[in-house]
Structure 1
Amino acid sequence: MGLHIESRPSDSPHVERVWRSRSSGVAEMTAVAAQHWDLVVWEHRGEVLAAVQGPETRASPAPVPEDATFFGIDFALGTTLAHLPPGRLVDSSAPLAAATDRSIWLAGSALRLPDYDNAEFFVRRLVRDGIVVRDPVVAAAVAGRSTGVSERTVQRRFVATTGLSRGAVQRIERARRAAVLLQEGIAAHDVVHRLGYFDQPHLAHSLTRYIGRTATQLAAGGPTVPLSLLYKTADGAPS
């Protein structure tokens, strides 16, 4: 019973993470804030649907269809759909029209729907066809490398390619890191110092806005409404 989520990292520079889930006996989840846009495919009662989901700037309740399966590709920061920048999708989504029962229309092309195991192959085709593009300045900034341009240019490119300011991306990322640490049993005051919050009220405000939970709820594993995807990256820093 509940929302069962599985995810994996990706070796593609265009992909942050690939995930899949299934629902059983749950009608609602809390969608936590997310700095990435993603392609989501779900199947419910024999119907297959797909959409592009934009970045989300705060936690919000989201309905969960009964006995549905979901699959998603979270795209890396700085990666965009050439015809549909994330800035147009902040806190919203765009449905994708079906070409057949297992393919979709995307940027004028009929594409067979990917799955959990072949997501990177699907993304390589999107890149090859110029449907997905990547801003090297934003990619360098995210990786902590020299961008070769001014900070003002980096900020402008961040907004253009992610739909969010660099500061907003960092605040969302920090809240997600805090949530994972609290779920692992790290005390709130230690999370404050580890992640650079001013104090516990500052942490509490961030968690409420971006995660939709208090520190106590995260530490206790409640309430019963499930959260959307939270995870640790290889270096220990969740996205």
Structure 2
Amino acid sequence: MYTERTSRLTGAVVWTKFPTGTGNGTGTGTGTGVRPVLPDGCMDLLWSEGRLLVAGPDTRPYAPEGPARSWAGIRFHPGTAPTLLGVPAHELRDRRVELADLWPAGRVRRLCDRVAAAPDPARALEDIALERAAEAGPPNPLLHRLVQCLDEGRPVSATAAELGLNERGLHRRCLTAFGYGPKTLARILRLRRALALARTGTPYAETAIRAGYADQPHLAREVRRLAGMPLGELLAGGG
């Protein structure tokens, strides 16, 4: 069973997932019922079985094999995690890594003990993220505006101009903050818009146009590339 709630950390989501016999929402589990984690422009701090991990930004569906287990996580708003974690996003692209590979081992052991002792691991993760955010200071408003512009479907060139950057400078900033260039980020954000529309029952042809695709076949191709399956199958599985 998967549940989520809005975090006290601006733009973040706190979530938990418990095994139901067919896997869990982190993309791990046994059997054919495992649903992949889709690219979403975000990074997560994860807790499972005494381990703290970081999920880097995905460019493809993520569905590792392994036994079903319980997870807790906090999903950061796009572009905010690298500052909190102290590592450029592109170094974690399409990876899941131990937090101890990024932070001093002693510090991570203390954090693991803290989460393990907490009655609610998800809230403990949220508290850790809030403390780290207080140390790091406010997020860069330029990155927030960048995500907003691309999520509105604006061209990369127009977005760069509005932010006062050339396209090469925009690309460098995107690699550090999101793990990939602005065109990939725009594709992922467009997919999120399409899925949100399709889940409301909007016809696929209308979904394609409203989300910013040329037509329904364009939408279908992009869903297969980024989600690894047809749109109908993805929605039927709760993706």
TM-score range for the pair, normalised by the shorter chain length: 0.7 to 0.9
Structure-1 separation of matches of 2:227 and 2:6: 21
**1:40 alignment counterpart:** 46
Q: CA deviation at 1:125?
A: 1.4
Does 1:139 find its partner at 2:144?
A: yes
Structure-2 separation of matches of 1:61 and 1:120: 25
Structure-2 separation of matches of 1:128 and 1:11: 12
**1:106 alignment counterpart:** 103
* One of 8, 16, 24 as aligned partner of 2:12: 16
Structure-2 separation of matches of 1:161 and 1:61: 24
Structure-2 separation of matches of 1:179 and 1:63: 25
Aligned residues with identical type, % of pairs: 26
Alignment TM-score, normalising by the size of structure 2: 0.74
- Deviation string 1:201-227 (CA, Å, 9 cap, x unpaired) is 1101111122223122245x14xxx64
Mean CA deviation greater in 77-86 or 186-195? 77-86
**1:205 alignment counterpart:** 221
Structure-2 separation of matches of 1:148 and 1:196: 22
**Relative to 1, partners in 2 of residues 1:133 and 1:122: Cα closer, same or farther, differing over 3 Å?**
same
Structure-2 separation of matches of 1:211 and 1:60: 9
**1:236 alignment counterpart:** none
Does 1:183 find its partner at 2:183?
A: no
Q: Unpaired runs of 5+ in structure 2?
A: 23-29, 150-158
Alignment TM-score, normalising by the size of structure 1: 0.74
Structure-1 separation of matches of 2:3 and 2:85: 29
**2:165 alignment counterpart:** 150
Does 1:88 find its partner at 2:91?
A: yes
Structure-2 separation of matches of 1:143 and 1:178: 16
Q: CA deviation at 1:78?
A: 2.4
**1:235 alignment counterpart:** none
Structure-1 separation of matches of 2:219 and 2:39: 15
Higher relative contact order (CA 8 A, sep 6+): 1
Contact 1:183–1:218 (Cα < 8 Å) also in 2: no
Superposed CA RMSD: 2.9
Contact 1:175–1:211 (Cα < 8 Å) also in 2: no
Which has the larger share of helix? 2
SS in 2 for 1:39: strand
Does 1:77 find its partner at 2:78?
A: yes
Structure-2 separation of matches of 1:133 and 1:91: 26
